[in-house]
Chain A
Amino acid sequence: MAYQYKMKLTDEQKAILEGSQGPVKAKVMETIVRYGDMFEATELVKVTHGQGHLVTSFGLSLLKPVYRTMDELIDAGLKVEEGFTMDPRPADFSNTPCSLIDKLLIKTILYGKQKDYEEQLRKLGLVRDDAFSCACYFDEMGNIPSKGDVLSWAESSAVNYANSVLGARCNRNSGMIDIFGSIIGFVPKFGLLTDEGRKAKWKVIVKTEKKPLPQILGSAIGIKVMEDVPYVVGLDKWIGTELNDECKAYLKDFGAATASNGAVGLYHIENVTPEAVEQGEKLLVEGYREYVIDDEELERVYKSYPNIWKKPEKAGNLAFIGCPHLSKVQLEDWADRIIGAVKAAGRTKVAVDTVLCTAPPVREAFARSPKYAQLIATGAKLTTICPLMYTSNPLTKSKRIMTCSNKLRTYSMARYFKDDELLAIISGKKED
């Protein structure tokens, strides 16, 4: 029996649903319409920034239904007309610690379908062979929506950044829904696509005595508000009101922490993010709740993070920096800090395996600079993979991974350290 839709559809949309453009496109449309009906969407609206971003960048062997679905789309001649970027690739044998067994496992079992999957992605509209980063909105990546644009993206941190910092409109879509919306060119209007859904149910008041670490501040807010929209006041004192490279990098890491420690798809920062600049406290709903954050509260949240290493009493032996991917200014800053700290500790090499993660075009540009050679001389590595996917390898569970990323901490067995603590361990300044 044909699906009995509830939302308002145009004649064109109805015709696609009824199979006028083939059975596969009808199934894609049915998926999108059912998805919207579930959330009481009123209608389908046009995707105005046509370049998509997909979360499923890894050829995990177990994703057979995904490969089968992609083949169905390709065989039906469907693709994303304006192309799409992808989350990072999962493996890099040259720039991450990998034993022979790791390589064998990754190549043949874990990510054994990577090559085939990337071939499918090229046929469906992958924009470039280096278009693999969770931060697709970097200038170097070039997938940058304008304010008010409607998107069909997934990747929680990218959706969070696009909504909050760029003022675009996108729901927290799942993998597969992202490409389906991009192919159809329409997405259901509900949630963060509506003015009402973009209003804040929480007023978060930052009352710290020093600049809060974005990863811990975002974590505290995410844990508190979960999927709600927070309106944050008092942060402009520390990050300024100009959306420059430093501010955008701060908000990238802050937002990723709100999205992974909770399920935040949009936040407003008073005097900083575009809708907060325009509307101010009019963005708060009637009867909003308040959450006051001071240094003590941040320390409480920080101390609540568990250490779930198999041997928690031991020191860490691998550090990941850059989840989400480091921006150009962050990469240059971390390179300076590592080079300087290693030298100050009287060493020539880092004390533990250290991997920095950034987008492929950022890495390529950085690799042409003298600072790259200095960084690599310390033994640190620079990769473009997703560190989370590195930890999908069950053999990595015996490693004691350290990170200053709250997202990586949340989704893996990695232990969180503040930036300065991690730098001290990396440089050999202090024992863990």
Chain B
Amino acid sequence: MKEFKGRVINGGYYKGEAVVSHQGVNTLATFQSSALAHASKVTVADQNNPDIYQKNITGKALCLPQTIGSTTGGMVLQVICSMGINPACMLFSEHIDSLAGAGVILSVVWENSKLIAIDRLGQEFLDTVRTGDTIEVTEDGIVRILD
């Protein structure tokens, strides 16, 4: 088991599966197709991100460096949280970026979302965690890779 400590943006408890992107996650490209289709889960549609392309990330722990792309990004996160098809956690290895940060806050303040967000987990976290690993996230920003 390996353990990492990050900064709590929005805390909560989670135990479940990790999905890992080693490159920045383009929020609009990732979520738009599933949201437009009113899908019951997000199947990642970003063809430029082979790490997570076509993977289901709803209810899972999305591990990433930061988000990238359009400044609609924060609002897109708010939308998918309101639809209840968001990842359960967003675990950032770097400082959260302004678009994801806005999305987390919009979701928490305006949608009462329980989306867990932890940042500054470090590059070693992203180098260690693998898609399919079982991880545990606690209120104080500790992330444990159990497998």
Contacts and interface: CB of A to CB of B under 8 A. Distances in A.
Interface of A: 27, 30-31, 34-35, 38-39, 55-56, 60, 62-66, 69, 110, 154-156, 159, 171-178, 191, 226-227, 260, 263, 306, 308, 392, 394, 410-411
Interface stretch (B13-21, B105-113, B123-131, B132-140): B105-113
Given A172-B98, A172-B99, A174-B102, A62 B71 contact: no
Nearest to A55: B71
Nearest to A412: B29
B44 interface: no
B54 interface: no
A31 B32 CA distance: 24
Given A39-B98, A64-B82, A65-B79, A175 B38 contact: no
B98 A171 contact: yes
Interface residues of B, number: 36
Given A38-B105, A174-B103, A308-B47, A156 B78 contact: no
B3 to A, nearest CB: 24
A66 B68 CA distance: 21
Nearest to A32: B105
Contacts of B79: 62-66
A156 B98 CA distance: 12
Contacts of A30: 109
A410 B29 CA distance: 10
Contacts of A227: 97
15 contacts: A27-B110, A34-B105, A34-B108, A35-B102, A64-B79, A174-B71, A174-B74, A175-B71, A175-B74, A176-B75, A176-B106, A178-B71, A191-B98, A392-B32, A394-B36
A176 B70 contact: no
A68 to B, nearest CB: 8
A172 B105 contact: no
B9 A174 contact: no
A34 B117 CA distance: 14
Nearest to B117: A38
Nearest to A72: B110
